[in-house]
Amino acid sequence: MRQKPLANLRVLDLTRLLPGPLATQHLADYGAEVIKVEDTGAGDYARTMGAMNGDTSFFYQVCNRGKKSVRLDLKRAEGRELFLRLVDTADVVVEGFRPGVMDKLGLGYDALAERKPKIVVCSISGYGQTGPYALRAGHDINYIGYAGVLDQIGTAGGAPALSNLQIGDLLGGTMSALFGLLVAVLDARASGQGRHVDVAMTDAALAHAIFPLAEVLAHGTVQPRGEDLLTGGVPCYGVYETADGRHMAVGSLEEKFWHLVCDTLGRPDLKAAHLATGEEGARARGEVAAIFRSRTQAEWTALFDGVDCCVTPILRLEESLENPQLRARGMVTEVDGVRQFGPPVRLSGFEPGPFAPAPQAGADSDAVLESLGLDAAEIARLRAAGVI
């Protein structure tokens, strides 16, 4: 059988919480060996955040499957030496500390590259390793605020709106880290020289604000939120409430789709308002809104399921988990009795899974250290000394 796509990739994961752990879980899903290196204290405090399932949280369990866990005290010389021995066997180190922390430990990129030139070190931070904000604390709301993204989200006349799908953390800290470290690994395998991958969540959010940038280039400023093409400024693209308080998503940007919508609604006279703005757009949106409020979401869904015009129900997540399209794509899986998301990218000749559950803290310390040549007596001594 063909081996998993990343079967020859070994990753040391020093990250905590969400962006880094989810990035390395994606790597594990595609076959990488991911060793989660936690401290000998609290470790990854995602373990106890939010609703618990046994002795660890659901949050931790859905971001750390398929990994091994080793606990090392990197503030101790012996702990650092064990980590360096792991680096000798690894391709990638992923860390999410504030800039400078790895250097203070003596484990920064320069030190690791001197020991192993091919090593790739991926550093995930809010503002990057350089610049005047590099050492500042932050969260997703701060990163997308600086990037001009948060300002664009919301309804006309209202305040910026928040989403619990973290744009900065996930687009920036997870997906951009994956892209960057895999680029560096390909280069390292071709050239024999690794790289330091500097991922700033703010940078990544900014780099994908394409439509607002186009507005600035054309007009010198963005349009107010709720008034542009994609935030409710035109009748053919927006959210409409239904009779039962649910909502439908209308994404009929192309004229042919909008014409189908108008015909399905029995209002061919609204076809001319496709991309209308200002008073005319507001009038048309109001009339479309009144029509959608006349039936329930289920009724509209049944009607538009047979019309290919980009009108769909807005589901709650528990409904998404039962959606036939998402289930057919393998996007809902179960690991150790816990429903989780499947890997988001399908590859020919590769069937994801089965998935091992997220590891208990230090569950693989003995096995990993034995693979480095330590015997049982030495492991017992290190454990008694608090190094592992």
Helical axes 19-29 vs 177-191, angle rounded to 10° = 60
- Euclidean distance between CA atoms 311 and 258, whole angstroms: 10
169 is annotated as an active-site residue: yes
Per DSSP, 96 falls in state -
- Euclidean distance between CA atoms 7 and 192, whole angstroms: 19
Say whether 34 sits in a helix, a strand or coil. Answer: strand
- Euclidean distance between CA atoms 188 and 122, whole angstroms: 13
Residue of 103, 110, 139, 308 with catalytic role: 139
Residue of 169, 203, 228, 274 with catalytic role: 169
Furthest C-alpha separation in the chain: 83
241 class by beta-carbon count within 10 Å (0-12 exposed, 13-18 middle, 19+ buried): middle
State the CB neighbour count (10 A cutoff) for residue 185: 23
139 is annotated as an active-site residue: yes
Query: 128: closest CA among 26, 210, 33, 206?
Result: 206
Catalytic residues: 139, 169
